[in-house]
Amino acid sequence: MAVWSGGRLTIYEATQGAQVVKANVAKSLALDPAVIDVKSSYVGGGFGQKGPP
């Protein structure tokens, strides 16, 4: 899920690589990575989260 609010994009993603998600989304949408936040709650170990987007 993604929310655009107040000039910032917040992405809620079950990923092991939040920085990778941020970089890929920034490149895909031609956005400054500084306006993107990726929230990935720890759900227990590497098997509980996904790989790259």
Q: Of 49, 22, 26, 53, which Cα lies nearest the Cα of 38?
A: 22
- Greater pLDDT, 46 or 1: 1
SS3 20: helix
Residues 27-40 pLDDT 10s: 999 999 999 999 98
Tell whether 16 is covered by a domain: yes
- Segments forming the whole domain that contains residue 16: 2-40
Tell whether 45 is covered by a domain: no
Task: Return the exposure string of 5-38: e unless at least 16 CB atoms fall within 10 Å of the residue's CB, then b.
Answer: eeeebebebebebbeebbbebbeeeeeeeeebeb
Tell whether 53 is covered by a domain: no
The answer, yes or no, to whether residue 46 has pLDDT greater than 80, is no
DSSP 24: H
> How is residue 38 written in tokens?
């990726």
Residues 7-27 pLDDT 10s: 999 999 887 788 999 999 999
What is the total count of domains within the chain? Answer: 1
